[in-house]
Amino acid sequence: MDRKKKKTEQDQAPVFPEGAGLSPEADNQAEKPQETADLLEELEEARAKWEEYLGLAQRVQADYDNFRKRNRQVAAESYDDGARAFIKTILPVVDNLERALSVEKDKEDPLFKGVTLVQKQLMEALMTRGVTPISRLGEPFDPKLEDAVAQGSPEEGDPGTVCEVVLTGYQMGENVLRHAMVRVVPDL
């Protein structure tokens, strides 16, 4: 049994080539500075790669955040564009209701009351959506809001002012949906 044990210890003992040094520790100490330098170089390369990948990940994240913001903005603009387009198609209905109400009728007539109610509800719905009529009677003509379709007479008001609204205009926020058609007192 001791022989087996001794043989095993001999098998495990390191064998050194000739001229390798006095001990295994001396060889390890000689290799350590080179090994340490190699490890430090690898560490620096790994750190550089890490910084490169971190920067890349941060740029991708920023690009994605910007993409999401742009998408939200485009979706909101598209929604508003669709709302404006739809409201423009409704404006002739509003005009016809106003024409129907402008005719002299019996105010107690149920049909007249019904048309009045429908016109009022439609205007409330438009106002809820931010649509406001452009009514600038007596104010100076503004080509951004109005189209001059005729001239008034000098006795109808001050020169350059709106003397009659032929067709009501509408705007939604800062966007003009339809310019008001007006008559303007001419400048003399």
Give the tokens for residue 103. Answer: 């005719």
**Mean pLDDT value across the chain:** 85
Within a domain: 48: no
Within a domain: 126: no
pLDDT score of 109 = 87
CATH of residue 171's domain is 2.30.22.10
pLDDT score of 13 = 53
Please answer whether residues 186 and 141 qualify as being in contact, where contact means their C-beta atoms are separated by less than 8 angstroms.
Answer: no
Global pTM? 0.62
**Total domains in the fold of the chain:** 1
- pLDDT one-digit tens code per residue, 71-102: 999 999 999 899 999 999 999 999 999 998 98
pLDDT score of 11 = 55
Q: Output the DSSP codes for 27-95.
A: HHHHHHHHHHHHHHHHHHHHHHHHHHHHHHHHHHHHHHHHHHHHHHHHHHHHHHHHHHHHHHHHHHHHH
Within a domain: 61: no
Instruction: Tell me the mean pLDDT in the region 161-175.
Output: 92
Length of the chain in terms of residues written: 188
Per the structure, the complete domain to which residue 146 belongs is given by 132-188
Question: Does the pLDDT value for residue 23 go beyond 70?
Answer: no
Within a domain: 15: no
Q: Can you tell me the distance from the alpha carbon of 165 to that of 171, in angstroms, rounded to the nearest whole number?
A: 15
Within a domain: 53: no
Nearest alpha carbon to residue 123 among 146, 91, 164: 91
Question: Does the pLDDT value for residue 21 go beyond 60?
Answer: no
Within a domain: 124: no
